[in-house]
Structure 1
């Protein structure tokens, strides 16, 4: 199949799914969410390992503000429905395959959601992780249930409040990254070579059991979606996004 936002290839029981929006800094839009959903559904029956990758300079930089700006310019409501993205991350976290994020370059906002939802995270030394939402009065509402599950409440809280990037080394120390090396391609191959031999039925049963042990992702869904809708419906927040796209000004910068 041809995709607008992805590059997808299958190698035996392994699916390589690359986010490929170089013209938009690998940001998330509705098309990306839907195409990822389609690929993951195809993987449910016979794929053992799903490898999620981005571009060498940016893994995923979060919501597509340009798309918001276009909708606002046309006088349309610019807030996305957050539920499809949350459900996509649920698929990564609970689906009957091992999800592996191979991270290089910048990871911001919703990009951290993809990483936190993955079973295993491999990074090279260029990887940087940040949650910038609060700078615009937004919240990483849908990211936090996945991130807290991965690194704990206080570290997720610190990352949200500080809004500045942490290095791959720091992310590894916190447990967001499982394995880190300058030669991350080699590291990825070593992991995939081992993981692909696990039996499909065993993987499926394990993921189902793991989700039973930690049901917080489903329990948090309604609150996460409600919070996301609230902050993306606030006219002041939308004004800050519009100004950033139009003039390149951050919220704390004087427009004059």
Structure 2
């Protein structure tokens, strides 16, 4: 499929989705959100794809909502704005619950909705010069959707700090807060993320990655007793999977397993 606002490429077992509006600092609008949903769905249903990298073209990762898009929202009815909000909600759910590992490669500022995209990825790496933040309150808006995920990721206290102040923080501070996994020099980040993706592809079972993600995302949805029972069920089910049997046999035989 040909996209207008993003690029989609598969190499090896890694799908790379690139926000491709550098002249707009990769800002989000309805069309871009729709294309992202299509691309993530394409990667999810492609049996050859095991890991997804999300990045931005140009100097920014993503500057949040497009200004023209924001102007249009002011003219929308409440029903139109609700429908539009649900589109973004569905994209965030799609990434968060995706059955493939999603890695954010942040080579520029990630602001508002752009920082929201970083928040919901499984792993996130950024260059030292990147600034991150949720600036919605500064324009009279609210960081509604991302708050659900950010509290889970970094805790209520730090989420209150970032969401209420709307301040931008350095990549180093974002790593300290747990929003990023690591800050990587600009000249090394592409190779670093590629190596992380390659290690996931060759070092772990696709089924194990999928089920582990499902376990993690379901923890907050249930009382602890239910979560533990669910984990026990998934544990038993995974033991019967061919990947687990192959992996254990290779371990017992002291053979290196290449997935």
Q: Same fold (TM over 0.5)?
A: yes
1:163 matched to 2:166? The reply is yes
Once residues 105 and 167 of structure 1 are traced to their aligned partners in structure 2, the CA distance between those partners, rounded to angstroms, is 11
Once residues 43 and 213 of structure 1 are traced to their aligned partners in structure 2, the CA distance between those partners, rounded to angstroms, is 25
The unaligned stretches of length 5 or more in structure 2 are 223-259
Partner of 1:50: 52
1:66 matched to 2:68? The reply is yes
State the Cα distance separating 1:133 from its structure 2 match. 0.8
Q: How many residues align?
A: 214
Contact 2:153 2:178 in 1 (8 A): yes
Once residues 24 and 58 of structure 1 are traced to their aligned partners in structure 2, the CA distance between those partners, rounded to angstroms, is 9
**In proportion to residue count, which structure has more helix?**
2
What does 1:146-225 correspond to in 2, within 5 Å? Answer: 146-182=149-185, 183-197=188-202, 198-215=204-221
State the Cα distance separating 1:12 from its structure 2 match. 2.1
Contact 1:48 1:203 in 2 (8 A): no
Once residues 173 and 100 of structure 2 are traced to their aligned partners in structure 1, the CA distance between those partners, rounded to angstroms, is 27
What does 1:72-151 correspond to in 2, within 5 Å? Answer: 72=74, 76-77=76-77, 79=81, 81-151=84-154
Contact 2:52 2:103 in 1 (8 A): yes
3-state SS, counterpart of residue 154 of structure 1: helix
State the Cα distance separating 1:56 from its structure 2 match. 4.1
Of structures 1 and 2, the larger Rg is shown by 2
Contact 1:68 1:79 in 2 (8 A): no
Once residues 23 and 184 of structure 2 are traced to their aligned partners in structure 1, the CA distance between those partners, rounded to angstroms, is 28
State the Cα distance separating 1:55 from its structure 2 match. 2.7
What does 1:12-27 correspond to in 2, within 5 Å? Answer: 12-27=12-27
> Which of 1 and 2 has higher RCO (CA within 8 Å, sep 6+)?
1
Could you state the TM-score of these two structures normalised by the residue count of structure 1? 0.78
Once residues 21 and 174 of structure 2 are traced to their aligned partners in structure 1, the CA distance between those partners, rounded to angstroms, is 25
Contact 2:22 2:59 in 1 (8 A): no
State the Cα distance separating 1:76 from its structure 2 match. 4.6
Contact 1:102 1:122 in 2 (8 A): yes
Could you state the TM-score of these two structures normalised by the residue count of structure 2? 0.77
State the Cα distance separating 1:106 from its structure 2 match. 0.9
Contact 1:5 1:21 in 2 (8 A): yes
Once residues 130 and 119 of structure 2 are traced to their aligned partners in structure 1, the CA distance between those partners, rounded to angstroms, is 14
Once residues 15 and 135 of structure 1 are traced to their aligned partners in structure 2, the CA distance between those partners, rounded to angstroms, is 35
